[in-house]
A and B are shown apart, each in its own frame.
Chain A
Amino acid sequence: MTIGRTRNHPAYWAFLVHRISGIALALFLPAHFLALGTALEGEARLEGFLRWTEQPWVIAAEWGLVCLLAAHLAGGLRLLALEFLPWREWQKALAAVAAGFALLAGLVFALAR
């Protein structure tokens, strides 16, 4: 049985991306805070942790997180526009713009890293 039109349209995908990225970021945050907290034990400890992040899989994961963050931000701005600005009919375009922004952010990060 196909998914059909009920869940197979841009606004639904936008919702899924926004929710899943939110969950991922919420799970990541404690780890992020704990990692930075190693600085409490001195700069060398934080530096040691940063060396560990130089591994390829960690760099790839970081890139993923930056994309998720950008996607969640873009999707969130789209929602704020949907809910609080006067209604516009080009909702699909908003979703596309949000996706574009997220990809752009990911690209910029990949180039910088």
Chain B
Amino acid sequence: MTTARAELVLWAAQRVTAVFLAGFVLVHLVTIVYAVRGGLTAAAILARTHASIAWPAFYALFVLAAAVHGAIGLRTIAAEWLGWRGRGADLSIAAIGLALAVLGLRAVAAVAA
């Protein structure tokens, strides 16, 4: 994954996921502020996520966008601050992205069920 074209695609993917995440994060911030008023309870959280398929769907998309965005970001930081580049680095970063996505989707399933 080291051709200039591939790197351009990664850079573009990070910007595109950033645009989606901007919307998702705004919704998330507003939701957080709304949810913590008067104390946070599991019952309240689950009532919200069970109420409609929209919430789990939203969070699933959120998770996928965050996993892609975060992994590409970490790749850049690893290259620039740790000098870690090349095939090994790319595969490790891909694994991290995958792990984030899996953990995240598991969490979505946990609150959607």
A residues at B contact (CB < 8 Å): 19, 22-23, 25-26, 29-30, 32-40, 43-44, 46-47, 49-50, 53, 66, 69-70, 73, 76-77, 80, 83-84, 105, 108-109, 112-113
Contact = CB atoms under 8 A, between A and B. Distances in A.
B46 A76 contact: no
B77 A19 contact: yes
A66 B32 contact: yes
5 closest residue pairs by CB, A with B: A47-B42, A36-B107, A46-B42, A33-B103, A39-B110
A50 B18 contact: no
Nearest to A30: B103
Contacts of B100: 29-30, 33
11 contacts: A22-B77, A29-B103, A32-B107, A33-B106, A39-B111, A39-B113, A49-B42, A50-B41, A80-B19, A109-B33, A112-B34
A33 B22 contact: no
A110 B18 CA distance: 26
Interface in B1-44: 15, 18-19, 21-22, 25-26, 28-29, 32-34, 36-37, 40-43
B104 A69 contact: no
B110 A29 contact: no
B36 A112 contact: yes
Contacts of B103: 29-30, 33-34, 37
Interface in B61-108: 63, 66, 70, 73-74, 77, 99-100, 103-104, 106-107
B46 A43 contact: yes
Given A29-B66, A29-B70, A37 B77 contact: no
A51 to B, nearest CB: 9
B57 interface: no
B29 A36 contact: no
Contacts of A53: 40
